[in-house]
Chains A and B, each alone.
With several copies, the nearest count.
Chain A
Amino acid sequence: MPDFCGIELKHPVINASGTFDAIAARRVYGEALLADFPFSAFVSKTITPEPRVGNEPQRIWETPAGMINSIGLPNKGLDGFLAEDLPQLADLPVPLIVSVMATGHDEFARLVKGVGERDEVAAIELNVSCPNVHSGLIVGEQPAETEALLEALRPLTSKPLLVKLTPNVANPAEVAAAAEQGGADAISLINTLKASAIDPATGEPGIAAGHGGLSGPAVRPVAVAQVRAVAAVVRIPIVGMGGISHGTDAMEFIHAGASLVAVGTENFRDPRAGNRVAGEIAGALRADRSGAPIGDTA
């Protein structure tokens, strides 16, 4: 029973934001989804202050052991989310973590307040892979920007604040330390790696936006390295993700210092990946216990 920032979870596997739409999945799979819900907490797709329709297709491109996406954060905006999606997500049998993103402190504050005051919400994840409209800098690339954002948001809610780091930096540990300093309750990483692919048929990028984010097993070694680096400098818990398909992959993150793991792209290949990985982790931990001692997995 992992305890994560005071939230009790049935197992250490949650979903990566934007890789599982519980509302759509319930339409497809019916009540079996709830009976057998794959994650111990549900992370919403990132919401923004105003509605967004998302990027022009082509939005996805398969790559060796992974994929590129450039979805563009389609969402109903804060009001639409609270009115239409939240009541449905409240039906899920697990705690809800809402992922939010904005391009300035005021807008971020509106999201954190609007979401934070709802009882249905257990925690808030700040997606900081976004430019600050005032400084023009990507918040999550700058330790100072990240710390300032956290300091601004921290007083606005008593709910746990997770900070989701971007991996496209030289030193993610510096950004994580700044987030902790600013009052973050947990760090989640990695988001996708900036990536592109050229369609051989046209000589043009396969993704309409020109580039997107790489995810899947291909990025796992990068993610494990970043989780190790972050675990070395922060004391708050870490949600590790990036290319987890199997329990052995998840164990890499746990050994590297993650308290929870999130399954992302693998959901596309196996809608029950969350459950499966949780079972595989339990099996691996049992096997480890009966053999050599391993690192602390609390």
Chain B
Amino acid sequence: MTAPFGRRLCQVSESRATGGYRLFSLIDTDGPEPLPGQFYMLASERHWEQGGQRPFLPRALSVAETGPAADGVRLDFLIEGIGPGTDRLCELQPGESVCVNGPLGNSFSTPRELHQISGPPGRKFDAVQPSGAILVGGGIGIAPLALLRRSFAAKNIPTRVLLGFRDAAHSGGLDELFSCCEIRLASDDGHAGHHGYVTDLLAAMLEGDDAASAAVYSCGPPQMLEAVGAMCAEAGVACELAMESPMACGYGACFGCSMPKPGGGYLRLCVDGPVVRPDQVELAHA
């Protein structure tokens, strides 16, 4: 499946606040349904490129949910305003148009696929039947995991969800995107769930009997992904991470999104990712 060539205009159908973040929906009349982990390059049609300062380039956003709409596909994005680009996208009003390029990038594997790829001879997880998925999200990084969870549910893949938040003001999307599923929460300030890091929850889970046959999927701040990657490597558990890097184009044109590879050299996160296995990248440099 490829993305439609070129950027197209999609209308905003909804936009609302959720726990410090915003959730907005676009109606895409021309693109395919995206896969979990894929992203879009977005820029508001108006008041993006006129004026004297930033933003200038489009911004990468993971699709958090999708579904059929009357006239195409609905795309939901969960967004945190941290600068001029995300601030402008947080302001989107229903009826406004957005320049859209995508869906872009690769997508998450199923636990079975991941075990096939990740399992070199001698690693303990490659023989067993995968016992299911563990999704580990932090902050705004919960976005791509929402769509992943639903896709696993549709495939009857047993899935456990661990989400971490800094505080109540950074717990956006929780109710909207994970309403009908069992999740375990962690929060830095203890306002909900475990008082501490979501990786504490993962550590406990990785001590379980069936852990080695599970597959871990994670998205969140770089330090969290580094920890998750290290814990999975230690435990010999298959793992995929959805990562971020600075992106100008999103389709392999600019070479700006490079991530160091363990053996030297770089991969382009936009076309070789954004979903990578911990052994594909130098996590400490990310």
Binding site for B on A (CB under 8 A): 18-21, 23-25, 27-30, 32-33, 36, 53-54, 56-67, 69, 71, 74, 216-217, 245, 265, 267-272, 275
- CA A29 – CA B104 in complex, angstroms? 9
Check if A64 sits within 8 Å of B56, measured CB to CB. Answer: yes
Count of interface residues, chain B, beta-carbon cutoff 8 Å = 37
Give B208-228 as 1s and 0s: 1 = Cβ < 8 Å from A's Cβ atoms. 000000000000000000000
Given A27-B271, A217-B53, A271-B101, A60 contacting B253 (CB threshold 8 A): no
Choice from B3, B4, B54, B253 contacting A19 with Cβ under 8 Å? B253
Question: Which residues of chain B from 47 to 72 have any CB-CB distance to chain A below 8 Å in the complex?
Answer: 49, 52-58
Check if B258 sits within 8 Å of A57, measured CB to CB. Answer: yes
Residues of chain A with a CB closer than 8 A to B268's CB? 24
Question: Which residues of chain B from 241 to 272 have any CB-CB distance to chain A below 8 Å in the complex?
Answer: 245-246, 248-249, 251-256, 258-260, 264-266, 268, 271
Binding site for A on B (CB under 8 A): 2-7, 43, 49, 52-58, 99, 101, 104, 245-246, 248-249, 251-256, 258-260, 264-266, 268, 271, 285
Residues of chain A with a CB closer than 8 A to B254's CB? 19, 60, 69, 71, 268
Given A20-B253, A59-B256, A60-B256, A270 contacting B6 (CB threshold 8 A): yes
Check if A67 sits within 8 Å of B57, measured CB to CB. Answer: yes
Residue in A closest to B104 when the chains form the complex, CB atoms: A28
Given A30-B2, A32-B5, A59-B258, A24 contacting B253 (CB threshold 8 A): yes
Given A32-B4, A33-B5, A60-B248, A21 contacting B253 (CB threshold 8 A): yes
Residue in B closest to A23 when the chains form the complex, CB atoms: B252
> What are 19 inter-chain pairs, A to B, with CB distance below 8 A?
A18-B255, A36-B5, A53-B266, A57-B256, A59-B256, A59-B258, A60-B254, A62-B56, A69-B248, A69-B256, A216-B56, A217-B52, A245-B53, A267-B253, A268-B249, A269-B58, A270-B6, A271-B253, A272-B6
Given A28-B2, A32-B4, A62 contacting B57 (CB threshold 8 A): yes
Check if B56 sits within 8 Å of A25, measured CB to CB. Answer: no
Choice from A32, A65, A272 contacting B52 with Cβ under 8 Å? A65
Interface hub of B58, B252, B268, B271 (most chain A Cβ within 10 A): B252
Given A59-B256, A65-B56, A66-B56, A271 contacting B5 (CB threshold 8 A): yes
Residues of chain B with a CB closer than 8 A to A54's CB? 255, 258, 266
Whole-angstrom distance between the Cβ of B244 and the nearest chain A Cβ: 12
Residues of chain A with a CB closer than 8 A to B54's CB? 62-64
Residue in A closest to B103 when the chains form the complex, CB atoms: A28
Check if B2 sits within 8 Å of A29, measured CB to CB. Answer: yes
Whole-angstrom distance between the Cβ of A273 and the nearest chain B Cβ: 9
Whole-angstrom distance between the Cβ of A212 and the nearest chain B Cβ: 10
Whole-angstrom distance between the Cβ of B89 and the nearest chain A Cβ: 15
Residues of chain A with a CB closer than 8 A to B58's CB? 268-269
Check if A29 sits within 8 Å of B56, measured CB to CB. Answer: no
Choice from A53, A60, A64 contacting B246 with Cβ under 8 Å? A60
- CA A54 – CA B257 in complex, angstroms? 12
Whole-angstrom distance between the Cβ of A244 and the nearest chain B Cβ: 12
Residues of chain B with a CB closer than 8 A to A62's CB? 54-57, 248
Check if A64 sits within 8 Å of B249, measured CB to CB. Answer: no
Residue in B closest to A72 when the chains form the complex, CB atoms: B255
Choice from A53, A65, A66 contacting B264 with Cβ under 8 Å? A53
Check if A24 sits within 8 Å of B251, measured CB to CB. Answer: yes
- CA A275 – CA B3 in complex, angstroms? 18
Residues of chain B with a CB closer than 8 A to A63's CB? 54, 56
Given A28-B271, A272-B5, A64 contacting B251 (CB threshold 8 A): no
**Seed contacts A24-B271, A62-B54, A62-B56; 11 additional CB < 8 Å A-B pairs:** A27-B252, A28-B252, A54-B255, A57-B256, A65-B52, A245-B49, A268-B249, A269-B56, A270-B7, A271-B101, A271-B249
Residues of chain A with a CB closer than 8 A to B52's CB? 64-66, 216-217, 245
Check if A67 sits within 8 Å of B258, measured CB to CB. Answer: no
- CA A56 – CA B259 in complex, angstroms? 9
Residues of chain A with a CB closer than 8 A to B53's CB? 64-65, 217, 245
- CA A18 – CA B104 in complex, angstroms? 20
- CA A23 – CA B285 in complex, angstroms? 27
Residue in A closest to B2 when the chains form the complex, CB atoms: A30
Residues of chain B with a CB closer than 8 A to A23's CB? 252
The 8 closest A-B pairs by CB, nearest first: A24-B252, A30-B2, A60-B256, A272-B6, A268-B249, A32-B5, A29-B5, A65-B52
Whole-angstrom distance between the Cβ of B44 and the nearest chain A Cβ: 12
Residues of chain B with a CB closer than 8 A to A271's CB? 5-7, 101, 249, 251, 253
Residues of chain B with a CB closer than 8 A to A53's CB? 264-266
- CA A103 – CA B249 in complex, angstroms? 30
Whole-angstrom distance between the Cβ of A44 and the nearest chain B Cβ: 13
